[in-house]
Amino acid sequence: MSKNGPLALTFHSLVVVFMLAPLVVVCLVAFTPENTLSLPTAGFSLRWFEAVFERADFLEAFNNSLQLAFLAASLATLIAVPAGLAITRLQFPGRDFLNVLFLSPIIIPHLVLGVALLRLFALLGVNGSFTWLVLAHTVVITPYVLRLVIAAAIGVDRSAEQAAESLGASRFTLFRKITLPMILPGIAGGWLLAFINSFDEVTLSIFVTSPATQTLPVKMYVYATESIDPMMAAVSALVIALTAVTMILLDRVYGLDRVLVGKH
């Protein structure tokens, strides 16, 4: 198959259409004037978007998800950066075990983690605690940050670090002025992936949230089991639009190629 031949272009176009078609359909359904999930064949309406903003419980759940994703992604980054640098640059007993331990949440099904954390929280008497919810999300999203930090650290040219060290730079100065800027794209990309995964997490969150700490995905899941009106499509369309705007702004300000690929 030629890299840029007609067959390759057709294949890639079909893949893109296959991925975007469900999102387009959901966004179209959000504008339906009907009371059921249907395409707006008779005209467009904003009634379901208005219904979303009239629901205080959905707005509260959205706010919970934003706070939770931001705190969990930031905490995961604080853990992953020193862990990633230690795994890539130091030789110590248990290094491979530490690497596997940090990556294990990717392998273990979130359903199993959710049941285990539910039992743990019950034993500790912290069910419904937002702080412990943040810690639970941190556990499952840290591997995403760690993978990108390790990839960025492996690709760093250490000659600049060695030169600064030979000139008497302290370890903190070396990290702050040389190492950190060089691995920053990996850190930013990892934080972004962690934020998205935390915001979208539903399987684990069902077990460890309470009515006061209910996240938007959990709220949507519960609502979808009780109703089939298009309000869920409107919520989904708003989340899609918010994600798209965030990605565009990030691309304009920082560059998605630097964040996700690591180009300088």
Question: pLDDT tens digit string along 215-229?
Answer: 999 998 888 888 888
User: How far is it, in rounded angstroms, from Cα 122 to Cα 117?
Assistant: 8
pTM comes to 0.83
Task: Reduce the DSSP state of residue 202 to 3 states and report it.
Answer: coil
Between CA 209 and CA 117 the distance in angstroms is 11
DSSP state of 108: S
Which is nearest to 69 in space by CA: 168, 166, 205?
A: 205
Cα–Cα distance for residue pair 235/53, rounded to 1 Å: 10
**Helix, strand or coil, per DSSP, at residue 89:** helix
Q: Can you tell me the mean pLDDT for 176-184?
A: 81
Confidence label for 196 from pLDDT (cuts 50, 70 and 90): confident
The region that residue 23 occupies, defined by phi over 0 for left and psi between -120 and 50 for alpha, beta otherwise, is: alpha
Query: Which domains occur in the chain, in start order?
Result: 56-261 (1.10.3720.10)
Q: Note the pLDDT tens digit of each residue in 25-74.
A: 888 988 988 888 888 887 888 889 998 898 898 899 999 999 999 999 99
Q: Residue 253's pLDDT is what?
A: 62
The Cα–Cα gap between 83 and 26 comes to: 40
